Amino acid sequence: METIERGSSINKENLKLLITDPMDNVMLQMLQERGIKVDYKPEIDRNSLLNEISNYDVVVVRSRTKVDKEIIERGKNLKIIARAGIGLDNIDVDEAEKRGIKIVYAPGASTDSAVELTIGLMILGARPIFQGISMVKSGSFKKLPGVELAGKTIGIVGFGRIGTKVARVCQALDMKVIAYDVVDIKERAQKMGVIPVNTIDELVRESNVISFHVTVGNDAKPIVTEEHFRQMKEGTILVNTSRAIAIDGKALLKYIDERKLTLVTDVFWHEPPKEDWEIQLARHDRVLITPHIGAQTKEAQYRVAVMTTKNLIQAIQEIGVSL
Ligand code: NAD
């Protein structure tokens, strides 16, 4: 496809905006109300995107489209990248920043949905609800034992938006809540009756349930490693709705039987599981995985679309386009 060289004078009539993934209608409506024309290509493949990206000032993606270095290099007219989501895993942020491209997204828009899924997974880890339902459906009706959460200690790793709300719900369940973060959370935690701990080792040793709510980069080192699995209480339930990379999965596979650990997770190292050790872990009786559905509620998707669009409209105005 022929590419168009675009000069610096952009107005809303000639602003070129491409949406590359399926998007909630509310975004299209909000942009159209501002007179912004949209090229909506929710199934565009990578090759077509590489060919067409230089025609656009703005690209809007969800998680399917990877806006990596190559796309950014080809997008020589790109001024704004909008990610309709709460994280920027699929965007090469450094490359975009190097080229002065603005990035907008919707941090926090799916907090409540992620909190609710976390609590659901935690209860699934403590009580054999999934196993019981499957059993009854296949014609068996047997009592299955579990454990109570009340009176147990939960260690929250990452005391940000989601971690803090999970802590509140756990307090309502009469759990003792301890928390660890790389930033200073002491005052905020103590105010709400949560005990801040100074090291991950301390959290791991004291917890019956460990719930992960960290923001870490794709190449970060695991926070919980082999030495931690050895220190965990027998029967510890690990809940992860944040980033799989926070846990050393290969080491977990080695200790899951010895320490009788349970993993209930919405995130996996590869999604779907790919490496041999991931497949073994995924098939383990004490591992339950949901297919990254933490933000997949009607309400969260709507909020993500609205917040991203508001931030996008502001960014378009900041590049000098009056709307
Ligand atoms: P947030 O930024 O509000 O909080 C994250 C916290 O983690 C921060 O306080 C930060 O200091 C802390 N942290 C970072 N590195 C750490 C480390 N090594 N050890 C301990 N603490 C560390 O983020 P949030 O909105 O609460 O989201 C938390 C995570 O949940 C993110 O990774 C987000 O992508 C994920 N999330 C997943 C889903 C899903 O679909 N499963 C939905 C929403 C959010």
Tens digit of pLDDT for each residue in 7-64?
Answer: 557 899 999 999 999 999 999 999 999 999 999 999 999 999 999 999 999 999 999 9
Return the ligand 1 atom nearest residue 215 CA: 32
Return the ligand 1 atom nearest residue 180 CA: 20
Ligand 1 mutation pick, 214, 247, 289, 304, max ligand atoms within 8 A of CB:
214
Position 3 pLDDT exceeds 70: no
102 pLDDT tier (thresholds 50, 70, 90): very high
- Which residue's CA lies nearest to atom 8 of ligand 1? 160
Q: What is the mean pLDDT of residues 248-254?
A: 97
Distance 252 CA to ligand 1 centre (A): 21
Residues with CB under 6 A from ligand 1: 86-87, 108, 110-111, 114, 157-163, 180-183, 213-216, 223, 241-243, 266-267, 292, 294-295
Cβ proximity of 152 and 171 under 8 Å? no
- pTM to 2 decimal places: 0.92
217 pLDDT tier (thresholds 50, 70, 90): confident
Alpha carbons 253 and 284: distance in angstroms, whole number = 9
Distance 3 CA to ligand 1 centre (A): 39
Alpha carbons 78 and 80: distance in angstroms, whole number = 6
Return the ligand 1 atom nearest residue 162 CA: 26
Position 4 pLDDT exceeds 60: no
Distance 214 CA to ligand 1 centre (A): 3
Ligand 1 mutation pick, 242, 268, 290, 299, max ligand atoms within 8 A of CB:
242
Cβ proximity of 59 and 75 under 8 Å? yes
Per-residue pLDDT of 159-196, as tens digits, reads 999 999 999 999 999 999 999 999 999 999 999 999 99
Per-residue pLDDT of 273-298, as tens digits, reads 999 999 999 999 999 999 999 999 99
Catalytic residues: 243, 271, 292
- Which residue's CA lies nearest to atom 33 of ligand 1? 242
Q: Which residue has the higher pLDDT, 208 or 3?
A: 208
Q: What is the mean pLDDT of residues 207-219?
A: 93
Name the average pLDDT for the chain. Answer: 96
Nearest CA-CA partner of 162 in 202, 121, 113, 216: 113
Distance 313 CA to ligand 1 centre (A): 26
Please, what's the b/e burial string for 15-43 (b: 16 or more CB within 10 A of its CB; e: otherwise)?
Answer: bbbbbbbebbeebbebbeeeebebebeee
Sketch out the chain's domains with CATH numbers.
17-107+300-318 (3.40.50.720), 111-289 (3.40.50.720)
Return the ligand 1 atom nearest residue 241 CA: 41
Q: What is the mean pLDDT of residues 124-131?
A: 98
What does the pLDDT read at residue 8?
A: 57
Name the helix (H) or strand (E) containing 274: none
Distance 113 CA to ligand 1 centre (A): 14
Distance 200 CA to ligand 1 centre (A): 15
